[in-house]
Each structure stands twice: as C-alpha cells, then as structure tokens.
Amino acid sequence: MPPFEPVLLEAVGTPESHTLESYRSRGGYAPFETLLAEKQPTEVIELVKSAGLRGRGGAGFPTGVKWGFLPKDHPGPIYLCVNADESEPGTFNNRILMEDDPHQVIEGTMISSYATRATTAYIYLRYEYPHAWDRLQAAIDEASAAGLLGDNIKGSGFSLNIYLHRGAAAYICGEETGLIESIEGKRAWPRIKPPFPAIEGVFRKPTVVNNIETMACVAQIARRGPDWFRSIGVPADPENPRDPGSYGPKLYCLSGHVEKPGCYEAPLGITLRELINDYGGGVWKGRKAKAAIPGGISMGLMTEAEFDTPLDFKGPGTVGCMGLGTAAVVVIDETVSIVDFLHNSCRFFAHESCGQCTPCREGTSWNLRILERIRAGKGRLKDLEILLENGNTMGMMPGSTICGLADGAAWPIKNAINKFRDEFEDYIKRTNPEGWMVTDPVPALQIVGAH
Ligand SMILES: Cc1cc2nc3c(=O)[nH]c(=O)nc-3n(C[C@H](O)[C@H](O)[C@H](O)COP(=O)(O)O)c2cc1C
Ligand code: SF4
C-alpha cells in the first residue's frame, strides 16, 4: 500500500488544533479570502465540479452538480444545511472533524455558502455531541470576531451567518428532508420528493444539504486545487459515462472486532482487507473475520471472502451491498452469530422508523418480530422467505416509501440471509427441531420496543 499523507485529519491530535490560531498557521482561511476576492460563485461551483467531489454523507451525489440544481437568479434567501446528525451506526468521522478541527469545517461551509449564494448556513448537530457543539460554537465566534463571518465579509459584498441547530436525537433527523422539517421546528418526518430541497427546502426556500466531511473536502479543494483532489482515489470508468469516479481522500471509521479501532484517512478505493489489516491491526484476539458492514449498517454486509473489494463508491455495490454509505466499517468476528447480528439490525430500524409509510412502519416491526421468534426457538424455514419478501418490497428503490431508511433496513436482511443462508437454516433446525418445516401461519411473539 503506498504511503498516504492525511490532510483532512492533518491536525487531529496536535495541541490546540481547534483554535483559529492553529488553523491560520496551517494556511486556513486564506483560500476562502482568495476565492472571495477573485472568483465568482459560479466559478467556485465549477472548481468543485472539476475536482469530482462526491458527497460524503452516504449517497455519494456529486457536490457541484447538486449546487447547480439551485434556481439561477433566485431573489430570496438560499440556505445551506450542513448535516452533522451522524446517526448511522458505526459512524464517527464527522465528530472527530468537528471536535478537533472545527475551522476546517467552518471554512468549507463558508466556501460552499459563497458558491451557492447562501447567506445563512445551519449546522444541524447530533443531539448527543455536546463537545462538538462547544468546539463549533467557539470556532464560529472566533471567525466572527476575525471578520470572516457577518455582513459584507472583507468588503466583498458577501454576507454569511452560521447557526448551530441541535438535533432531535433520532436517526431519521439525518435524512435531508427530515432534517429540514426539524430545523423548521417540526417532527423530523421526511418529505415526499419532488420538490427536492434545491427547489423547496428550509422555509420552502432553495436549500442545499451537505455532510460535514463534504465541507472539509471543499476546504481542502480550495487550498490544494482540483487536480490534487483528482490525483487521489479511483478514476471514472471511461467505458461507463454514468460513473463519476471516486476521487479524493476519505475518512474510514473502523470499529467492532479489530485490534485498533479508529478513524483513518485513506484514498478512496482502499480495500476492506487493507483497512482492517494495515490500519486496524487485524481482527482482534487473533480470530478470523466472518463479515463486515462496509459503510454503516444500512449498506448491508460483506463476507470475509469479499474483503478484497475496493471501498470506493462503486465497490460495495459489486458484491450486493447498497453502496459505500458513510464508509463506517464494523468488523464481525467468527464467533458472532449472524442471526444475532440481524436481530440487532432489525431492532435498530424498527425503533428508528418514523412511521409515515406502511411498508416501513409495519415491515421493520414485523421483521423484528420474526427475528425474535427465530431467536426464541420457534423459527421456521418459511420465515426466511417472509423476511426476504419484506426486504425486497420495502424502500425507495422498490418505490414503496418516502425515504431511504426502509432501504437501509432491508439491505442487511437481504445480504445476511442470501450470504449466510446455511447458518440461518442450521440455527432454525437446531433450535426448533419439531417445527422448522411448518408453513401455516403462526402467532407473533409479543415484543417490547417496536411500534
Ligand atoms: C435515514 C437516513 C439517515 C441519514 N443520515 C445522515 C446523516 O446522519 N448525515 C448525513 O450527512 N447524511 C445522512 N443521510 C443522507 C442525507 O439525506 C443527505 O443525502 C446528505 O446529508 C447529503 O450530503 P452530501 O451530499 O454531502 O453527502 C441520511 C439519509 C437517510 C435516508
Ligand atoms: S421510509 Fe420509514 S423512515 Fe422514511 S419516511 Fe417512510 S416510514 Fe419514515
């Protein structure tokens, strides 16, 4: 593996890395001031487009393209919402950026606001991140005192205020239209799209929603240039015009059964095996890995045999996962039951479904009940078919729900059963020798904690 110099995490672990003085000493805010003086907003959008930056919040949508969807010459306010809800299980890269290098995030937010002509930016911060709140607020205060925020910044005519908004402590608050509803003071129920936020977002005004790490990448592109960014990662496939490539550095969260869990910066396209062995020190206690989730639990599951798959925007999809997601890898060692893994996953999604869409509200709840039944020794082989039928019919992709939470709930089910079918069948036959072949309907177990 070639050596790689971290840039997004450059300051993490260094003394006073969160202060304006430290950020300035690393060249911080000079790129913002230069862009403000020398470039038009449309030129900044082109800069980010030419870097090939794709959003780091989960879907990997090209950032400059998203900014280009905003209506031209819109007379009223435009808003930027920076998504710091970070509730995807296994994901903590945003927290590290906010706590240890908040000015990098703030500079990216300033540049993105200038490019999109947003004069108000909200950072929507996960409820459970009080330290990040303190660090971000202190950074906003320092930047304001230095004349980098407020009215007519540096005499440019551009004005910007950044506000922190505390999240409502639910996974669904990270879905971009749920987040928008929450900023407006309402329950975070995702909106039916279209209209997309670029046309009708916060307070029904044009809005861009971008992730915290996306903001840090914007700051680095402004500092080091689009060619530097494109020199890292996996280039677009020339045979496939729909592949925008996977450029730039990426923060990979590594947790679960590894020797050295942590947040590591590596070029997009590192394989899961390299990440676990070279960065994470291998599977813990000398054990073997059984599987890993590649990008947060909603992306599904990779088997150990699939660990040579590149963790770029395309790789996980080639082995049946939903995508790269947040690039939060959780390693599962050989001693873990996949039945228990799936039970945990179903419990999470049943708890987090907002309840608006029947397939998601009922589907997540029934999936959990079926897993509870299997674990209680009353499972049937037929239950696997029911789980797969649920998994294949709930979600935005099959077209039955408003948001992608249901797809995220479905993917671990599909991957776990399709990739570990033998283990599920053995478990059911072993724990329910009398009834595993029953196909008639059976009563549900009463469970606590679901809708
Ligand atoms: C259920 C659900 C939860 C989400 N949670 C987050 C989150 O915590 N942070 C985030 O940046 N994006 C999250 N997203 C994705 C956002 O809707 C949105 O695509 C993203 O913030 C856009 O930023 P990006 O273009 O910079 O990636 C979530 C999506 C879904 C469906
Ligand atoms: S898919 Fe689920 S979480 Fe998303 S809006 Fe529908 S019920 Fe709510």
Q: Mark whether 51 and 118 lie in a shared domain.
A: yes
Looking at residue 180, its pLDDT comes to: 98
**Measured distance CA(188)–CA(386) in Å, rounded:** 30
**Measured distance CA(248)–CA(223) in Å, rounded:** 13
Q: Calculate how far, in angstroms, residue 215's C-alpha sits from the geometric centre of ligand 1.
A: 13
Phi then psi dihedrals of residue 207, to 5 deg: -145, 140
* Residue 299 C-alpha from the chain's centroid: 10
Q: Mark whether 126 and 24 lie in a shared domain.
A: yes
With a 6 A CB cut-off, is 85 part of the ligand 1 pocket? yes
Is residue 1 included in any domain, yes or no?
Answer: no
Q: Mark whether 51 and 182 lie in a shared domain.
A: yes
Q: Mark whether 326 and 351 lie in a shared domain.
A: no
Q: Mark whether 82 and 223 lie in a shared domain.
A: yes
Looking at residue 3, its pLDDT comes to: 66
Number of domains in the chain: 3
Q: Mark whether 150 and 271 lie in a shared domain.
A: no
Looking at residue 446, its pLDDT comes to: 63
Is residue 371 included in any domain, yes or no?
Answer: yes
C-beta pairs of 334-338 under 8 Å, 24+ apart in sequence: 334/287, 334/288, 334/289, 334/290, 335/287, 336/257, 336/290, 337/423, 337/427, 338/290, 338/291, 338/416, 338/420, 338/423, 338/424
Q: Mark whether 45 and 191 lie in a shared domain.
A: yes
Is residue 271 included in any domain, yes or no?
Answer: yes
Q: Calculate how far, in angstroms, residue 358's C-alpha sits from the geometric centre of ligand 2.
A: 8
Q: Mark whether 222 and 325 lie in a shared domain.
A: no
With a 6 A CB cut-off, is 403 part of the ligand 1 pocket? yes
| Mean pLDDT of the 270-276 span | 98
> Domain containing 386 — which CATH number?
1.20.1440.230
Is residue 240 included in any domain, yes or no?
Answer: no
Q: Which atom of ligand 1 is nearest to the CA of 85?
A: 8
Domain range holding 418? 338-431
Is residue 383 included in any domain, yes or no?
Answer: yes
With a 6 A CB cut-off, is 191 part of the ligand 2 pocket? no
Residue whose CA is closest, atom 6 of ligand 1? 174
Residue 2: is its pLDDT beyond 80? no
**pLDDT tens across 395-425, in order?**
999 999 999 999 999 999 999 999 999 999 9
**Measured distance CA(423)–CA(155) in Å, rounded:** 66
With a 6 A CB cut-off, is 135 part of the ligand 2 pocket? no
Q: Mark whether 100 and 189 lie in a shared domain.
A: yes
With a 6 A CB cut-off, is 57 part of the ligand 1 pocket? yes
To test ligand 2's pocket by mutation, which of 187, 193, 361, 400 has the most ligand atoms within 8 angstroms of CB? 361
Phi then psi dihedrals of residue 337, to 5 deg: -80, 130
**Measured distance CA(128)–CA(100) in Å, rounded:** 17
Is residue 368 within 8 A of residue 325, CB to CB? The reply is: no
**Measured distance CA(258)–CA(375) in Å, rounded:** 27
Is residue 441 included in any domain, yes or no?
Answer: no
> Domain containing 63 — which CATH number?
3.40.50.11540
Q: What is the mean pLDDT of the chain?
A: 96
| Mean pLDDT of the 76-88 span | 96
Q: Mark whether 159 and 265 lie in a shared domain.
A: no
Confidence of residue 451 (pLDDT cuts 50, 70, 90): very low
Q: Which atom of ligand 2 is nearest to the CA of 356?
A: 7
Among residues 228, 257, 273, which one ends one of the domains?
228
- Written as one letter, the residue type at 254 is L
Looking at residue 450, its pLDDT comes to: 47
Q: Mark whether 257 and 161 lie in a shared domain.
A: no
Is residue 153 included in any domain, yes or no?
Answer: yes
With a 6 A CB cut-off, is 405 part of the ligand 2 pocket? yes
| Mean pLDDT of the 167-195 span | 97
DSSP H stretches of helix in 122-269: 130-145, 176-183, 212-224, 226-230
The DSSP secondary-structure symbol of 283 reads B
CA angle 221, 223, 224 (to 5 degrees): 65
**pLDDT tens across 353-374, in order?**
999 999 999 999 999 999 999 9
Q: Mark whether 170 and 47 lie in a shared domain.
A: yes
